[in-house]
Structure 1
Amino acid sequence: MAHREKLGFVLALSLVLCFGSSVGWAQDMQERLKAAVGANDIVGLHGAVVVLDGDRIAEAYFPGEDERWGTPIGLIDHGPETLHDLRSVTKSVVGLLYGIALSEGAVPPVDASLLDQFPEYADLRDGSGREDITVADALTMQMGTQWDESLPYTDPRNSEIAMELAEDRYRFVLDRPMVAEPGTTWTYNGGAVALIAKLIADGTGQDIDLFAQTRLFEPLGIESYEWVRGNDGVPSAASGLRLTARDLAKIGVLIAQNGVYDGRVVVPATWLDSSFRAVTSIQPGFDYGYLWYLTKGPNGDAILIAVGNGGQRLTIQPNAGFVVSTFAGNYNDPDAWQTSVRVLVEFAVPEVGKLRQQ
């Protein structure tokens, strides 16, 4: 993530903390956002939802060319019921699902050896240090293995794409050469998330999408979703989930409410505490927990972020009850982050500020 993006989140979200409390429909924000998109001032935006204190205060949708997991699907008239790729926001959802499965005793503790969970790959115990990788190292993308997703996701040399093309995705992930001691170096790694999803599937007897449906989506009232499967029939844990912008925002509300939704504990608070504890630093002031990006406002308030290729984003400031979900179609564009950050900085935060002052 670029330094400019980090500053945009830190400065913008901290502004919410300066106000009192009240909510209402932010019609002004919606109209200003529509005008900016219509003038091509904001590019590629497909949808945005803003939630404050559990109430949806604003949303806007726009037509645009879209994709389904890398396959063009043409011009889509996006709306409240439109499913959209989350891309790598999927990873953060998988992190929540691991915590749910852990609370049910279905998956190993985070300090367990990762290779111990895959006895079918006993030949990978080669003395290279691979035996020292823990589940926590996968959750924090610190496995110490060689992995490169810097190439476009249309390139078969991209490690995530190579994993999808491999005969056995799990062996492919686990047998990458060791390049660092486990638990010491952060390397963006969709393969690590595939392993986490496999542990959930093995422990619960359900593919990740079916487990998500009963344990996460249904309690949140999420009725429509899709989890795209690879050529091997396995749901892509790294990038395959598709939700509506409203439903993605519900996940943000769940987190802002410390794992409780409509009076029901959906994700244990202890797991959220662990997930949002900074384990490794990506760059100064920007950290990583269990498959979530973490930063703080100037007053120390936590800001939680899930990010996906093309401008997909979920941003949560729990103490302010502030949640923003954004979808965009700027896939494989290195500047894609600018669209969602501008929605946040220039539209959502100022509108929330006005509401807080009422």
Structure 2
Amino acid sequence: MKNIFLFVLIFASSLSFGQIQNIVEPEKIENQLQKNHLNTIVFSDKVVPFENMKETDFLKSITFQEDKDFDVRIFMDNSLVNYLHQLDPSLSVEELIKKGNYQFSFFVDGKLIYIENLNPGAGTADQKKFKTSFRIPFLSSKNEDSWGKYLWMRFYFANGGIDALETGNHLLKIEIKPYLKTSTLKIGKTIAQGEIQLNIPKKNVPEDQIAIQKIKPNNGWKVSEDKFNQEKIRLLNQKIAENRFRDITGIVVIKNEKLLLEEYFNGYKRDSLNDTRSVGKSFASAFMGIAIKDGYIKSENQSLKDFYDVKKFKNYSSKKDSVTIKSLLTMSSAFNGNDEDYESPGNEENMYPTDNWIKFTLDLPMTENKIGKNWNYFTAGVVVTGDILDQSVPTGLKDYADKKLFQPLGIKNYQWQFTPQQKPSLAGGLRMKALDFAKFGQLYKNNGTWDGNQILDKNWIKKSFTNYFADNKDFEGYGYLFWRKVYKVGYKNFESYQSSGNGGNKIIIFKEIPLVIVITAKAYNKPYAHSQADKIVQEYLLPAVYE
């Protein structure tokens, strides 16, 4: 009798400790197809409603084509919230939804290529509470919008998927686990997995799309006669032609002040004006340096109260008086504005619909951050620097910029984006030829001189190319509206400062080597835009022209 009682006690304990009760009641699993495939990911090349699905819709192999449907269906034995509840039973349903989601792991031919903890904002609360089955359209012939589309882009284009899936046959495997991010990251057991054989067809690219483009005359540069690895550039051109690097429109390489490479793609030409978005922010830095050099602005340490009656704007505090031009140039002004946070009141998307961008910015409340200390990407602050310039220089910023920068560099054809007050917007959108963007980069490489004229003060460039956030481990650094980026080729590090804009647009100025690279692109709002540009530089251009 005593032994029986001990067995019952052990069995009850194993239930209480090994099996945590659901926190919500998930939908009932009544579909026989789901019952047959619990904890499985199945693949299809067409969109089929759940209730109409048949075994024959599930594929073991597929010829992979990016313009066709590539659908997955996940069958689970519980809902996400209940899986998350098992990781931390102390949290409420709302806390679980806010702090957790699915973790996706992508394997190709048995090798782990990419892991992503899906942003907690992906998917609806009801789906996470109750659903035990859901569909993900990775590729859609109707361009269906979903978080799955962007997840696939991040795997495929930004994190090595496209390289792993070269021409031929490959086994793609996907695993899904729940994750919860509180003070630590907790990962649950695998709740669904599946695999499919992908046949990647060969793309036939004409030779003229692979061939290195000959530099035509009348380009405004001396042409370099330096040798470079032509096979690397041919391979790069092939990948662009095959659409393995996407939406690239131009590549220009300046070495030792001479034009070494000039290549255009996807219908763009030398005379095309490229919308490089936030690349234009770096021009704000240049204009400020020129205005200080000319004495129209005393220094970047001047504060807002020198230019505005700050007390007339909303959310006034004495801290707002102390915001400096420098803090706007380094994106550390402590305004409550962060373009990377959609809920931030100062997010640029909240600014554009208003009829006065300066008022919008100066009305913003301040945060508790110390001015000059905490970095947040803040476009509205750069717009204010443009207004400070416009009111400080004679005849306004538009004429001043043309006279002091564009004309000396021989830049004649360009287009501004304007504010609602028809002032040049330094938020971005300045359109130019790729070769003219290269002139801007070379000006910095020349320590501010062009054709013997000192356009920018050498010390201003030194300040601009200083990392003011060396203690921030989340990114490589930031100067006066220039990003710091270190490229690694073999055992060598190549430090650069660069203008960077949505779509993968870059003007890259290397600090220790005589090289300026311009990449123009139109992969706007695509998750792979910047990573593919960095890959082009690190794996193709640098090895080709500087090894």
Alignment CA distance shift 1:315-1:140 (3 Å): same
Question: In the TM superposition, what is the alpha-carbon distance from 1:128 to its structure 2 partner?
Answer: 5.2
Q: Does 1:349 align with 2:537?
A: no
Q: Which runs of 5+ in 1 are unaligned?
A: 6-20, 64-76
Q: CA RMSD in A?
A: 2.7
> Max radius of gyration: which structure?
2
Contact 1:149 1:188 in 2 (8 A): yes
Question: In the TM superposition, what is the alpha-carbon distance from 1:318 to its structure 2 partner?
Answer: 3.2
Instruction: Say which structure, 1 or 2, has more relative contact order (CA 8 Å, 6+ apart).
Output: 1
- In 1, distance between residues paired with 2:344 and 2:395? 29
Alignment partner of 1:181 out of 357, 360, 370 = 370
* Alignment-derived partner of residue 160 in structure 1: 348
Contact 2:289 2:456 in 1 (8 A): yes
Q: Does 1:111 align with 2:301?
A: yes
1:58 match: secondary structure: strand
- In 2, distance between residues paired with 1:196 and 1:339? 31
* Alignment-derived partner of residue 192 in structure 1: 381
Alignment CA distance shift 1:266-1:25 (3 Å): farther
1:258 match: secondary structure: coil
- In 2, distance between residues paired with 1:195 and 1:317? 29
187-196 or 285-294, which moves further after superposition? 285-294
- In 2, distance between residues paired with 1:339 and 1:313? 11
The normalised TM-score by structure 1 is 0.82
User: For 1:280-306, what per-residue CA distance to the aligned partner results, in whole angstroms no more than 9, with x for missing partners?
Assistant: 244367111111112456878641111
- In 2, distance between residues paired with 1:231 and 1:203? 19
- In 2, distance between residues paired with 1:61 and 1:22? 20
Q: Does 1:58 align with 2:251?
A: no
Q: Does 1:217 align with 2:217?
A: no
Alignment partner of 2:431 out of 211, 226, 242 = 242
* Alignment-derived partner of residue 275 in structure 2: 85
- In 2, distance between residues paired with 1:109 and 1:301? 31
Alignment partner of 2:452 out of 263, 266, 275 = 263
1:129 match: secondary structure: helix
Question: In the TM superposition, what is the alpha-carbon distance from 1:176 to its structure 2 partner?
Answer: 1.0
User: For 1:182-208, what per-residue CA distance to the aligned partner results, in whole angstroms no more than 9, with x for missing partners?
Assistant: 222111011111111111111113443
Contact 1:257 1:318 in 2 (8 A): no
Map 1:299-338; keep pairs closer than 5 Å. Answer: 302-338=495-531
- In 2, distance between residues paired with 1:156 and 1:329? 26
- In 2, distance between residues paired with 1:113 and 1:231? 24
* Alignment-derived partner of residue 127 in structure 1: 317
- In 1, distance between residues paired with 2:544 and 2:486? 21
- In 1, distance between residues paired with 2:382 and 2:317? 24
- In 2, distance between residues paired with 1:25 and 1:104? 41
- In 1, distance between residues paired with 2:246 and 2:492? 32
Question: In the TM superposition, what is the alpha-carbon distance from 1:319 to its structure 2 partner?
Answer: 2.4
Counterpart AA for 1:59? E
- In 2, distance between residues paired with 1:347 and 1:231? 42
Contact 2:337 2:344 in 1 (8 A): no
* Alignment-derived partner of residue 32 in structure 2: none
Question: In the TM superposition, what is the alpha-carbon distance from 1:108 to its structure 2 partner?
Answer: 3.5
Q: Which runs of 5+ in 2 are unaligned?
A: 1-153, 159-223
Counterpart AA for 2:337? W
- In 1, distance between residues paired with 2:406 and 2:520? 19
* Alignment-derived partner of residue 340 in structure 1: 533
1:82 match: secondary structure: coil
Counterpart AA for 1:82? S
- In 1, distance between residues paired with 2:424 and 2:304? 20
- In 2, distance between residues paired with 1:26 and 1:262? 30
The normalised TM-score by structure 2 is 0.55
Contact 1:26 1:57 in 2 (8 A): no
Counterpart AA for 2:384? L
Count of residues in Structure 1 that have an aligned counterpart in Structure 2: 321
Alignment CA distance shift 1:304-1:145 (3 Å): same
- In 1, distance between residues paired with 2:475 and 2:340? 22
Question: In the TM superposition, what is the alpha-carbon distance from 1:228 to its structure 2 partner?
Answer: 1.6
Question: In the TM superposition, what is the alpha-carbon distance from 1:103 to its structure 2 partner?
Answer: 0.4
Question: In the TM superposition, what is the alpha-carbon distance from 1:26 to its structure 2 partner?
Answer: 6.6
* Alignment-derived partner of residue 12 in structure 1: none
Alignment CA distance shift 1:170-1:22 (3 Å): same
2:518 match: secondary structure: strand
- In 2, distance between residues paired with 1:139 and 1:161? 20
Contact 2:508 2:517 in 1 (8 A): yes
Question: In the TM superposition, what is the alpha-carbon distance from 1:136 to its structure 2 partner?
Answer: 1.1
